[in-house]
């Protein structure tokens, strides 16, 4: 299955008109038009998106009631416990509410389930234990709980007050909690359905701050807190790979700026170990490739509480210690990940019959359940199939699985169709998880493949890469890249502008870099212009491109590389085609 380039229509008169009216370069005008922003009003509205455009928090279903319950618990001096999730979204959501309630003089603590022992979301043992410790406490979930029907029923039976805040896909039955906060509840009129868990938690915190203020505005102290909370919500939004459009784009845009000015102490220490320069304006790549993986490593390796502590501590020594420890955990995670990826590829090669399956289901007793999600994504990209990796436990003879989609395949629908083979499952279209008995793995493998055969097949559109414009390399200057940055922050459904240049030569032999030669470094030349490029995770292209020799057509996203105080344009190579054969190489 090969992705093809889909060029946006090029209307020269329309480009000239928008460029002249907005006083922008023709290149930026072409990208705006390619993304459906064809008139100056809509284009300017997108570029100038403001915090004031965020929706009123109390317009989200359940927020008004939940905020009243939180304030009542604070006034009654009851303990409030935040029940989070062990990924970055859950960690940041937990931190947002923990800080809000603590600043409001509430008695607040938090509980993060252990990924390895407790699994995802609410569980009955935890609910029972929390009740026995303090039956009067208020329990608030963040980034989980919307499918926890059995657990909510237990809380109701015990008399434990439960607020569920979540953003994940709902089941046929909703949990009977005291209050549900979710942007997509039935009959919801909330205009933006794509918030992550941290975004939902921010809305609840915002409403609490309003109610503790004059009903509309928070106190100066809580307004300062909310600025920092927007920064945490930005981290969760980027890490959870939700669409960076609408409210999410606004939160990330202003949250990244807030982190530059008001980053929590622990996050500043984490930036140091990640070699992010102090005072530098963060971008989504800094979060996605440097900070989020280090936070996530704690959750993946069963120590998510430490990441929440890092994000909320005010002790400098402790912040330094935690940042160094999370950095070490991340190094360990990468080592484990490389081993699992190698084993997964070998497993597929040894089972030729799986080549005929439209999906992959791989299981192994030596795999770490906290790391398989990352590897599943790489396997899915490599074999171009939806992929499930399952970490088997020899003692319990059960497995925990993580799945990643490919070409728009709906994982949640696929798991639903195979529910008879699963103990538990959850997630959404692009990423999902499951629990399964070991002796049912092969039956699930066959059923999942059978479902995929009859499922809606990816359209040509799903298999195409959108190209904003064809350009010459001499058009990609620091000035033009900075101008294009006004379309950011970039991420899911709002990617960096992607261009194609043709008749491009290699100025020097390509070389591999990074751990195990995983990445590729190149220098391209077109006429008198030379530009450096990098292809992440594509080290195998080095020999292919050197053997071909060029010239090439290349697809790339341009950015600014900052190194030791110097800035230069750098291309992120996405795909290439030999001009000799015109045969696309998989992207």
- Taking only the tens place, the pLDDT of each residue in 492-547 is 899 999 999 999 999 999 999 987 788 999 999 999 999 999 999 899 999 999 99
Distance CA 394, CA 529 (A): 58
Q: What DSSP assignment string belongs to 228-240?
A: HHHHHHHHHHHHT
What domains are defined for the chain? 55-222 (3.90.1640.30), 351-454 (3.10.310.30), 468-578 (2.40.50.460)
**What would you report as the CA-atom Rg of the chain, rounded to the nearest whole angstrom?**
25
Q: Tell whether the model's pLDDT for residue 3 goes beyond 80.
A: no
Q: What is the H or E stretch that residue 169 is in?
A: none
- pLDDT at residue 563, rounded to an integer: 72
What was the pLDDT predicted at 459? 64
For the stretch 462-479, pLDDT in tens is: 668 899 999 999 999 999
Confidence grade of residue 427 (pLDDT, cut at 50, 70, 90): confident
pTM: 0.90
Q: Quote the percentage of the chain above a pLDDT of 90.
A: 81
User: Would you put residue 137 in left (φ > 0), alpha (ψ -120 to 50) or beta?
Assistant: beta
Phi, psi (rounded to 5 degrees) for 2? -120, 130
pLDDT of 1 above 50: no
Nearest alpha carbon to residue 290 among 310, 268, 275: 275
Cα angle for residues 298, 404, 408 (degrees, 5° grid): 140
Instruction: Tell me what the pLDDT averaged over the chain comes to.
Output: 93
Residue 2: band (very low, low, confident or very high) from pLDDT cuts 50, 70, 90: very low
Q: At a CB cut-off of 8 Å and minimum separation 6, what does 195 contact?
A: 167, 183, 203, 237, 242, 247, 248
Q: How confident is the model at residue 302 (pLDDT cuts 50, 70, 90)?
A: confident
pLDDT bracket for residue 586 (50, 70, 90)? very low
Cβ atoms within 10 Å of 513's Cβ, excluding its own: 12
In whole angstroms, what is the distance from residue 489 CA to residue 213 CA?
A: 31
Q: What are the start-end ranges of the H helices in 287-435?
A: 292-300, 304-312, 316-350, 372-383, 411-417
Q: What are phi and psi of 501, to 5 degrees?
A: -125, 140
Q: Is the pLDDT of residue 241 over 90?
A: no
| Residue range 571-582, pLDDT digits in tens | 999 999 998 766
Lowest mean pLDDT segment, chosen from 96-100, 134-138, 367-371 = 367-371
With a cut of 90, say whether residue 239 has pLDDT above it: yes
Asked if residues 270 and 294 have their Cβ atoms less than 8 Å apart, the reply is: yes
Q: 3-class secondary structure for 195-227?
A: CCHHHHHHHHHHHHHHHHCCCCCCCHHHHHHHH
């Amino acid at each position: 299955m090969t992705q093809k380039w889909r060029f946006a229509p090029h209307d020269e008169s329309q480009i000239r008109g928008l460029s002249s009216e907005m006083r922008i370069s023709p290149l930026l005008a072409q990208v705006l038009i390619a993304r459906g922003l064809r008139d100056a009003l809509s284009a300017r509205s997108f570029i100038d998106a403001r915090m004031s455009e965020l929706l009123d928090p109390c317009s989200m279903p359940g927020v008004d009631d939940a905020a009243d319950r939180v304030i009542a618990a604070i006034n009654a001096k009851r303990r409030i416990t935040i029940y989070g999730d062990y990924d970055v979204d859950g960690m940041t959501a937990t931190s947002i509410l923990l800080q809000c309630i603590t600043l409001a003089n509430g008695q607040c603590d938090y509980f993060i389930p252990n990924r390895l022992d407790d699994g995802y979301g609410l569980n009955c043992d935890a609910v029972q234990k929390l009740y026995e410790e303090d039956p009067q406490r208020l329990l608030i979930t963040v980034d989980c709980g919307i499918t926890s029907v059995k657990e909510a029923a237990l809380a109701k039976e015990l008399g434990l007050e439960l607020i569920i805040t979540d953003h994940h896909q709902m089941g046929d039955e909703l949990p009977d909690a005291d209050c549900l906060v979710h942007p997509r509840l039935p009959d919801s009129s909330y205009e933006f359905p794509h918030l992550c868990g941290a975004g939902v938690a921010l809305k609840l915190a915002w409403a609490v701050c309003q109610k503790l203020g004059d009903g509309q505005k928070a106190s100066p102290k809580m307004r300062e807190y909310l600025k920092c909370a927007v920064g945490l919500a930005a981290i969760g939004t980027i890490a959870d790979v939700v669409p960076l459009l609408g409210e999410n784009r606004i939160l990330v845009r202003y949250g990244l700026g807030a982190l530059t000015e008001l980053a929590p102490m622990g996050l500043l220490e984490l930036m140091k170990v990640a070699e992010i320069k102090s005072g530098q304006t963060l971008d989504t790549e800094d979060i996605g490739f440097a900070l989020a993986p280090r936070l996530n490593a704690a959750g993946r390796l069963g120590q998510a509480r430490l990441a929440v502590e890092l994000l909320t501590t005010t002790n400098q020594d402790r912040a330094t210690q935690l940042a160094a420890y999370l950095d070490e955990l991340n190094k360990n995670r990468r080592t484990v990940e490389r081993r699992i990826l190698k084993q997964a590829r070998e497993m597929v090669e040894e089972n030729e019959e799986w080549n005929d399956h439209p999906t992959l289901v791989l299981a192994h007793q030596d795999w770490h359940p906290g790391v398989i999600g990352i590897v599943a994504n790489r396997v899915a990209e490599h074999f171009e199939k939806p992929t499930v990796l399952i970490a088997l436990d020899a003692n319990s003879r059960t497995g925990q699985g993580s799945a990643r989609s490919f070409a728009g395949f709906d994982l949640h629908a696929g798991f639903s169709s195979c529910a008879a083979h699963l103990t538990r499952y959850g997630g959404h279209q692009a990423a999902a998880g499951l629990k399964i008995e070991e002796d049912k793995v092969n039956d699930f493998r066959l059923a999942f493949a059978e479902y995929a055969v009859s499922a809606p097949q990816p359209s040509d559109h799903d298999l195409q890469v959108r190209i904003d414009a064809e350009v010459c390399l001499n058009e990609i200057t620091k000035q033009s890249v900075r101008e294009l940055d006004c379309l950011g922050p970039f991420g899911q459904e709002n990617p960096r502008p992607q261009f194609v240049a043709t008749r491009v030569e290699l100025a020097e032999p390509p070389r591999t870099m990074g751990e195990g030669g995983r990445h590729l470094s190149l220098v391209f030349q077109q006429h008198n212009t030379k530009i450096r490029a990098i292809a992440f995770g594509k080290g195998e292209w080095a020999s292919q491109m050197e053997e071909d020799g060029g010239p090439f057509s290349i697809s790339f996203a341009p950015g600014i590389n900052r190194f030791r105080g110097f800035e230069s344009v750098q291309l992120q190579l996405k795909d290439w085609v030999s001009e000799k054969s015109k045969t696309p190489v998989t992207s």
